Amino acid sequence: MPELRDSFGRRIADLRISLTERCNYRCVYCRYGADADGTEDPLAWPDLRRLARVFSALGIHKFRLTGGEPLLRDGIVDFVAYLASLRGPGGPEEGGLDIALTTNGHLLAPRAAALRAAGLNRITVSLDSLREEGFARITRVRGGLQHVLAGIEAAAAAGLNPVKINVVLMRGHNDHEIEAFAAFARERALTIRFIEFMPLEQADAQKGEHGELWSRDLVVPYQEVVDRIAGFYPLEPLPLRPSETARRFRFADGAPGEIGIIAPVSSPFCNQCSRIRLTADGQLRTCLFSLREWDLKPALANPDDAALIDVIGRAVWLKEERHHIGEPGFVKPARGMVRIGG
Ligand code: SAM
């Protein structure tokens, strides 16, 4: 089977699969309104398994399960086991299939060991504040922090090391915790990845009076984060890995843990992007900021994989060269992150 390449010569090897649009958190930077959990019609497991098989044959070697909140979907452990069955003899260490999960961690503690046993080999937990108050303000859920911390511990105990923590930084909301997160990385041997806030909030059609939160002033740029941490804990840059989105640093004093910074706004990495995304409702997106989606459902209705391979190949070929955040005329996608799959 042909490998997937776009018209700019980029090889596509990384697929993010959103398992559900539902989420048990309502992070202020991601969703407005309380009622975004409404109806959804996610792809059924047999369709997801078929797609995984086809994408794997097309050279996708990293699958990341996301959402919404992927742990809200029953059957995820079996799906991880199915992905692991596509791995073949070579594990991820030998360049084989990499199976990752991004979760808010709320439901992780009781599932971490089963996910690991099924074949999950990496986990990223989103956590934007280490303080109860800040956590509740950002997620709009009270009492969640202890669940997430327990989830992180359970993931580490299950051997999903190093656990990665995603922190979306927003000036005035949680940027005062940058140093506390760096200390947390050192204490628990975690990889903390600070992510620049992107204009991807879900609009609330019913409550049109809500403005949008995103503005460039809320983005805490890459260099500021590095300088702030280095003022407390000197950092040493780590070499860039191919198609790595994060600039990585270790602590110069040899403490455990790692700092990563993902800066899609202040220093985009589109030229090395190897990703595509599958939404829960079966749309293929070739960029987070795509204004066009490719509906895979008609091809899924055809038992011959050729139709699927054709539409996937055409979509990938037309992958956008780059995003246009901050440029005049930038148009935000109609779906917010919760419905795209982060
Ligand atoms: N519910 C899961 C979670 O919380 O990790 C998976 C889905 S969530 C949409 C995936 C990631 O996207 C999270 O780390 C979240 O913080 C990040 N995210 C959501 N909206 C964002 C935005 N506007 N800018 C940057 N990151 C964002």
- Ligand 1 atom 12, closest CA: 342
Residues enclosing ligand 1, CB less than 6 A? 23, 29-30, 66-67, 69, 102-104, 126, 166, 168, 195, 197-198, 200-201, 337-338, 342
pLDDT of res. 325: 84
Residue 288 CA to ligand 1 centre (angstroms): 12
* 189 belongs to a structural domain: yes
- Percent of the chain whose pLDDT exceeds 70: 92
Residue 325 CA to ligand 1 centre (angstroms): 17
Residue 89 CA to ligand 1 centre (angstroms): 33
- Ligand 1 atom 1, closest CA: 69
Note whether 114 and 157 are within 8 A (CB): no
Q: What is the CA radius of gyration of the chain?
A: 19
Residue 284 CA to ligand 1 centre (angstroms): 18
Nearest to 184 by CA among 256, 254, 279, 237: 256
**Of 104, 138, 145, 225, which is best to mutate to test ligand 1, by the most ligand atoms within 8 angstroms of its C-beta?**
104
* 157 belongs to a structural domain: yes
pLDDT of res. 32: 62
- Percent of the chain whose pLDDT exceeds 90: 75
Residue 342 CA to ligand 1 centre (angstroms): 5
H-run or E-run covering 284: strand 283-285
* 170 belongs to a structural domain: yes
* 9 belongs to a structural domain: no
Residue 30 CA to ligand 1 centre (angstroms): 7
* 190 belongs to a structural domain: yes
pLDDT of res. 206: 46
CATH number at residue 215: 3.20.20.70
Provide the domain limits for residue 119: 14-340
* Helix, strand and coil percent figures for the chain, each rounded to 5: 30, 20, 50
* 209 belongs to a structural domain: yes
- Which amino acid, one-letter code, is at 160? L
Q: Which two tokens stand for residue 210?
A: 């809500």
Note whether 171 and 220 are within 8 A (CB): yes
Q: Where are the alpha helices (DSSP H) in the chain?
A: 45-57, 76-85, 112-118, 132-139, 145-157, 178-188, 222-232, 297-300, 305-317, 337-340
* Total domain count, the chain: 1
pLDDT tens string 2-55: 789 999 999 999 999 999 999 999 998 887 655 455 557 899 999 999 999 999
pLDDT tens string 211-225: 478 888 999 999 999
pLDDT tens string 55-69: 999 999 999 999 999
CA-264 nearest atom, ligand 1: 25
CA-102 nearest atom, ligand 1: 5
- Full-model pTM: 0.94
